[in-house]
Amino acid sequence: VQLQASGGGTVQTGGSLKLSCTATASAGSTFELAWFREAPGKGREFVSMISWSGGSTGYADPVKGRFTISRDNAKNVGYLQMNNLGPADTAVYYCAANSVVRGTIPLRFPSGHVDYWGKGTQVTVSS
């Protein structure tokens, strides 16, 4: 699976952005998607995740109620709608994917288990 994130930019505090993650995969591939971010001087942290069907989602506490993850499997695209942004959200945002494998624990992103990484997109929130 190859991933490409886009949609980053600079917004003012309180603004919104919608990130996209375009996936290129073999026909028939099924995979979970997630977003991570890395702020200057900090490690990469989990932000949000979504199952292949879209029926299960998860969020890190700092973004709950402000960010919404979704996906369109027909287009092989995942999204992260970010609202009410603040300076603490400034970071490079990365999309990630895990292949769906029968018999394994799903949605292991928060523990750092990632099969595929995409290149990041910069999000800057000015105060």
Q: How confident is the model at residue 104 (pLDDT cuts 50, 70, 90)?
A: confident
C-alpha count within 13 angstroms, C-beta hemisphere, residue 122: 5
By CB neighbour count within 10 A (0-12 exposed, 13-18 middle, 19+ buried), where does 67 fall?
buried
What per-residue confidence (pLDDT) applies to 21?
98
Q: Render pLDDT for 22-79 as a digit per residue (tens, 0 to 9).
A: 999 998 899 999 999 999 999 999 999 999 999 999 999 999 999 999 999 999 999 9
Helices within the chain (DSSP H only):
none
